[in-house]
A = this chain, B = another copy of it.
Amino acid sequence: MCSRPEPREPLRHVAVIGGTHGNEMSGVYLAQYWLQAPGELQRPSFSAVPVLANPAATAACRRYVDCDLNRAFTSAFLTARVHPDDPYEAFDFVLDLHNTTASMGTCLIAESAHNIFAMHLCRHKLQSPELPCQVFLYQLPGEESYSVNSMAKSGLGLELGPQPQGVLWADLLVRMRALVATALDFIQLFNQGTAFPAFEMEAYRKVSSVDFPRTEAGDLAGNVHPQLQDQDFEPLRPGAPIFRMFSGKDMLYEGESTVYPVFINEAAYYEKDIAFLQTEKLMFSVPALPMLAP
């Protein structure tokens, strides 16, 4: 994975995608609303396009119908596409709106720290005191990109939680809407010729996943420990409890180093055999984003 080059021209083609997972309601209903009232997504230098990504799954209020859209965009899938005019390809930048049942607060998801434009966007205002957020980097070293964002030249996932699947909560809707507005404002600043200096950044990078304890038949044998529930982005130290067995016994974290769990007890991950993801906390330098040539 090499760094994405920073954009050399204004970003004119921007999409805001809801419903990549049809039961994550903040994005589903915002996209539906913006399709009727697109004015909110207009800026002087561009108009972002609202997209309802997965109408069949949205209608059924399920994550997906046949396969998980956020796991489908490998290069094999992309090159096999039968719709060469797929609109995703045309976008310079994509905001992909998600919810999680985990206590992730406001989380910005990028493939890696090499996406310099996305890192500057994370930094800009999104990390203001009024709207605190964390940055999660999902790509393992050497791993191929597979999310919806890989269809755009650059992109960022907005992951807000906790919110149950199939439910729309007022506070998360307001927060999602404010995040999208701030992101569009940043793109407008870039388009009109603002330069952004280099900075140091903190983020959480995926290391591995941990499955639930299971019976020999594969059924759950315990649940996420109450001391781990809702502790997303907090340090998990060796010896701390991670599961409580239905029999009453506790299971402890046996790793040798401190990790930072995220997506703790996410509903959609039960079928993927994931109770939580382990991340490491990184500090790294992000180079400056130069001003566009006039």
- Which A residues have a C-beta under 8 Å from some C-beta of B? 29-30, 32-33, 36-37, 61-62, 101, 162-171, 173, 215, 219-220, 223-226, 229, 244, 246-247, 265-268, 270-271
Q: So how many copies of this chain end up in the complex?
A: 2
* A37 neighbours in B (Cβ, 8 Å): 246-247
A37 to B215, CA, bound (A): 12
List 24 A-B residue pairs with CB atoms under 8 Å apart, sorted by A's residue number.
A29-B219, A29-B223, A29-B246, A32-B220, A37-B246, A61-B271, A62-B62, A101-B167, A163-B164, A164-B165, A164-B267, A165-B267, A166-B267, A166-B270, A167-B265, A167-B267, A168-B223, A168-B224, A168-B265, A169-B224, A169-B229, A170-B223, A170-B226, A173-B223
**Are the C-beta atoms of B32 and A219 separated by less than 8 Å?**
yes
**Are the C-beta atoms of B270 and A61 separated by less than 8 Å?**
yes
Q: Which of B166, B244, B271 contacts A268 (CB 8 A)?
A: B166
- A164-B101 in contact given A169-B265, A170-B229 (Cβ < 8 Å): yes
* A30 neighbours in B (Cβ, 8 Å): 246
Q: Would you give the shortest CB distance from A226 to chain B, in whole angstroms? A: 4
A227 to B246, CA, bound (A): 37
What secondary structure prevails in chain A residues at the interface with B? loop
* A32 neighbours in B (Cβ, 8 Å): 219-220
A225 to B85, CA, bound (A): 41
A30 to B246, CA, bound (A): 8
